[in-house]
Amino acid sequence: MSKSPQGKRLNQRRQFLKTTAAVSAAASTPYYFSTPKTLAQESKSKNDRVAMGVIGCGGMAGGNMNAAKDWVDVVAVCDVDSGRRAAANQKWSGGKATESAEYRELLDRKDIDAVHIATPDHWHTKPLIEAMLAGKDVYCEKPLTLTIDEGKLIRKVQKETGRVVQVGTQQRSTFPLFVKAMAMVNEGRVGKIQHVQAAIGGAPSSPAIPAVDPPADLDWDRWLGPAPMTDYRYSDGGKKGGRGNTNCHYEFRWWYEYSGGKLTDWGAHHVDICNWALKLNGQTAGPLSIGGSAKHPVEFKDGYPAENDRYNTATAFQFEVKYPGGTQMTIRNDTDNGVLITGDKGRIFVNRRKLTGAPVEQLADNPLPDDAIAKVYKNMPMERNERSQHWANFLYCARERKDPISDVHTHMQMLNVCHLAGISARFGRELKWDDTNEQIVGDDQANAFLARPYRSGYEIEMG
């Protein structure tokens, strides 16, 4: 007698657990371990693979599904752009996945093992929380939230459900650059950290963008979702062959309605590395204050842009974040993209291309201990390719029920800093921060920006 579909799925799940058990056994081996290759060799059988549902079918999802293709089968795709989801279905599953504009249909399926969320930023929190409540492990793109209060709710639900959530800050899986830099910090090679700097580049501005009819393939109301109803805007911006200017695909990053601009886009990467270094160096407390300067392409009144027809996030900025004990963090746009860590024994600079500084040169005569990388990577197996490794780490942690290398709690610790920088930018003043209660001190106007109302019909479903 043939097995029922449910029985086949349970058998596939058991096979997946057996596959990742091999990775678990390798966790005690030296820090360099070819996780993806091993998993790929053992997941050639269809029954060994993970059934994946994807919410959001743009460029980030495409890169991630390519990175995870050795281990996952995409069985469902969801996007409010029918052209995108059809193209993704063909590319990722040969047209065999189910397609939908409603992600709840995906979450309700019992045969889906895990979910990938790669929507625009304002659509991260709601499906992530509902996916955890539906019993799904999730790989969600960064930043997880638009507000600090959303982060509080995500952390609460993750603790209550015990779901494994990997945040797409794949720099945390980059060896030999970022992880090696963290190992150097952990081994005391820069000494006591005095200052960290996240240089994240500036953001674009735009001319006035006209309101036009949305593309026929796009459900604009659903794309806006929790955000306020507004016109769809687009112009080619004189960019032949480019994306043009819009408040939709990709360019949503430059609108506070849907994102935090560069502060939560690249900031979610480099501020994360700065925060990781501070935690490894014993700076467990959060910031005391944040202030600085920012330039916006439009005027602001009471924290809101006075014009609604052009990009409005900060194009240039420099913020100083002060911590207990005198440690400081700088977030800026105007110098070499990367992270600079300064301690009382030296300083190192790291980005996606290089790791430099006197402590790095000294490794030739005084190399790191064999277990240095493993210690900062939570003693989990690791591989060189950052995006594939980040996915391998997610699947490994789903098997072992462990916190992944980029968990929601450390993510929100650093993202609070990015959000506070954005609020400071919008009001043009320094903010005092109560890290214990996660409140801005003595500034009711700025404190109101810790949360945003959800548009009616798009509230988070907690039941």
Q: Where do the domains of the chain lie?
A: 5-173
Residues 249 and 314: their CA atoms lie apart, in Å, by 19
Residue at 176: amino acid letter: P
Distance CA 114, CA 140 (A): 11
Q: What tens digit of pLDDT does each residue of 276-288 get?
A: 999 999 999 999 9
pLDDT at 352 over 60: yes
Helices (H) and strands (E) in the chain, counts: 16, 19
* CA 11 to the chain's CA centroid: 32
**Cα–Cα distance, 146 to 282 (Å, whole number):** 28
Q: Which two tokens stand for residue 174?
A: 């980059």
Name the superfamily (CATH) of residues 5-173. NAD(P)-binding Rossmann-like Domain (3.40.50.720)
- Token pair of 432 as six digits: 């005092």
Residues sharing a CB contact under 8 Å with residue 371, sequence separation 6 or more, in sequence order = 30, 31
Across the beta sheet with 114-117, what order do the strands follow?
Answer: 98-100, 72-78, 50-55, 114-117, 137-140, 165-167
The Cα 352–Cα 161 span in angstroms is 35
DSSP H or E segment with residue 360: helix 358-361
Q: How confident is the model at residue 383 (pLDDT cuts 50, 70, 90)?
A: confident
Q: What is the pLDDT of residues 20-73, one digit of tens each?
A: 443 333 333 333 334 444 444 444 445 679 999 999 999 999 999 999 999 999
pLDDT at position 382 is 85
pLDDT for position 10: 45
Q: Among the residues of 192-266, which ranges form H helices?
A: 220-224, 262-265
Instruction: Give every CB contact of residue 361 below 8 A, 6+ residues apart in sequence.
Output: none
Tokens 């997946």 sit at which residue? Answer: 16
- If DSSP codes are grouped into helix, strand and coil, which group holds residue 276? helix
Rounded CA-CA distance 76/102 in Å is 11
Question: What percent of the chain has pLDDT above 90?
Answer: 86
Shortest CA distance to 54 belongs to which of 38, 35, 73? Answer: 73
Residue at 449: amino acid letter: F
Residues pairing with 292 in the sheet: 319
Give me the pLDDT at residue 22, please.
38
Q: In this model, does residue 167 exceed pLDDT 80?
A: yes
> Which residue would you say has higher pLDDT here, 317 or 9?
317
> What pLDDT is recorded for position 24?
39
What does the pLDDT read at residue 436?
96
Please write the tens of the pLDDT for every residue from 222-266.
Answer: 999 999 999 999 999 766 557 899 999 999 999 999 999 999 999
State the Cα torsion 461-132-271-423 to the nearest 10°: 10
Q: What is the pLDDT of residues 93-135, one digit of tens each?
A: 999 999 999 999 999 999 999 999 999 999 999 999 999 999 9
For residues 406 and 167, the answer to whether their CB atoms sit within 8 Å is yes
- DSSP-assigned states of every residue in 280-300: HTT--S--SEEEEEEE-SS-E
Nearest to 392 by CA among 405, 376, 374: 405
**pLDDT 10s digits, 406-460:** 999 999 999 999 999 999 999 999 999 999 999 999 999 999 999 999 999 999 9
Per-chain mean pLDDT for the chain: 91
- The answer, as to whether pTM is greater than 0.75, is yes
Q: Which positions ≥6 away from 118 have C-beta within 8 Å? A: 54, 55, 56, 57, 58, 60, 61, 64, 141, 168
pLDDT tens for 200-224 read: 999 999 999 999 999 999 999 999 9
What number is the average pLDDT over the span 79-87? 98
Q: For the segment 294-332, what is each residue's pLDDT rounded down to a tens digit?
A: 999 999 999 999 999 999 999 999 999 999 999 999 999
- Which backbone phi and psi does 14 adopt, to 5 degrees? -60, -40
Handedness of CA 352, 354, 360, 363 (dihedral sign): positive
Give the model's pLDDT for residue 303: 98
Q: Which residues pair with 301 in a beta bridge?
A: 304
Cα gap 178→274, rounded to integer Å: 10
Provide the terminal-to-terminal Cα distance of the chain, rounded to the nearest Å.
Answer: 39
* pLDDT given for residue 373 in this prediction: 94
Please choose, from the candidates 91, 258, 63, the residue with its C-alpha nearest in 3D space to the C-alpha of residue 77.
91
Would you say 199 and 333 are in contact if contact means Cβ atoms under 8 Å apart? Answer: yes
Tokens of 99: 């397609």
Token pair, residue 293, equals: 């300067």
